[in-house]
Amino acid sequence: MDCRFKCFRFTAAALALCAVLLAGCTEVPAVSNPESSVSADSSAVTESSPEQEQDTLPAGSLSDWNLILLNPEPQNKIDEDLPLSFASFDGQKIDERIAAQYSQMVADAEKDGIHLFLRSGYRPVSLQKTYYESNINKYMQQGMTREEAEAKTREYYTEPGHSEHHSGLALDILTEEYQRDVYTLDDRFAQTDGYAWLIKHCTEYGFVLRYPEDKTDITQINYEPWHYRYVGTEHAAYMKEHGLCFEEYITLLQEAGR
C-alpha cells in the first residue's frame, strides 16, 4: 500500500511487542496500519531478538522538544505558555522549528493536486481556557448541568494546560475546499482525498495522526482525522510501522530508559 514500508520486516518480536502494546485496544483499522498486509520475512524471525528490536527505536530522549506529551492525564500539562518562536501559515502560528517540514508537505501535496489548509495551530493556555469555558456555557444553556457540560466538552476540548495545541507542534489540517465548503471539524474529513494524502504521506515530513479511531481508549480523545502532530520523521516512521499512537510510543521510550 505504501512503498515506504515494503522493506518492513514484520518479525516475531515485533508481533509480540505489538500484541502487548495493543492489549486493551479496539480493532485495528487498515488506515493506520498499512503494513499489516506485509507478509512475514522468515529469515528475520531467526535473526532478531526482543533486545535487537528495542535497539531499532530511533534515537531520542523523552526530554526532546519534539516529544513533549500533553494529554488529559493530570501530569501531562503545562502551567505556563512555552517560550516558542513562530512561523505563520494561513493566519495560524506553529513552532518555527517545524515550518520547513510543514511547508514542504504543503508544496508536495500541491503537486498532487491537494491544497492543504492550516485550520488551527498554536494555541496559548489562555485561549484554550476561553474556548473551553464558552463550550461549557453553550451546553449549560442547552439545559445540561455544569458536570454534564464539562464531560461533554472534554470529548473534544482538552482542558486548558493539557491541549497539544499549546506545544506549537499540533496542527489541525484540512483542505482549502473542505474549509470553504464544509468548515465543520468532523469525521467527514476522513472521506476526502486530502485526508487520504495526509495518511499516506504525513510521516515522511515527521507528522502523525494524533488521535486515531482505534486508539481513543488510550488517547482519551475522540477520533480527529484533521489533527496531526509533529514528532520528527524517524519517530513518525517507527510509530506508523508498529501501529502505535503517541502515548504508546512514549511508553515504549520510557521502558527503554530514554
In the complex with Zn ion, the residue whose CB is nearer, 131 or 139, is 131
Which residue ranges make up the site for Zn ion (CB under 5 A)?
A: 172, 227
Q: How far is the CB of 22 from Zn ion (least distance, A)?
A: 24
Q: How far is the CB of 128 from Zn ion (least distance, A)?
A: 11
Q: How far is the CB of 242 from Zn ion (least distance, A)?
A: 23
Q: How far is the CB of 28 from Zn ion (least distance, A)?
A: 23
In the complex with Zn ion, the residue whose CB is nearer, 87 or 94, is 94
What is the number of the residue whose Cβ is closest to Zn ion? 227
User: Of 197, 183, 191, which is closest to residue 113 (Cα–Cα)?
Assistant: 197
Helix (H) or strand (E) holding 126: helix 125-141
Q: How far is the CB of 171 from Zn ion (least distance, A)?
A: 7
In the complex with Zn ion, the residue whose CB is nearer, 44 or 99, is 99
Contacts for 144 with CB less than 8 Å, ≥ 6 apart: 152
In the complex with Zn ion, the residue whose CB is nearer, 173 or 237, is 173
In b/e form, how buried is each residue of 138-158, taking b as 16+ CB within 10 angstroms?
ebbeeebeeeebbebbbeebb
In the complex with Zn ion, the residue whose CB is nearer, 11 or 167, is 167
What SS3 class is residue 245? Answer: coil
DSSP notation for 41-108:
-HHHHHH--HHHHHHTSPS--TTSGGG---SSSTTS--SS-----EEEETTEEEEGGGHHHHHHHHHH
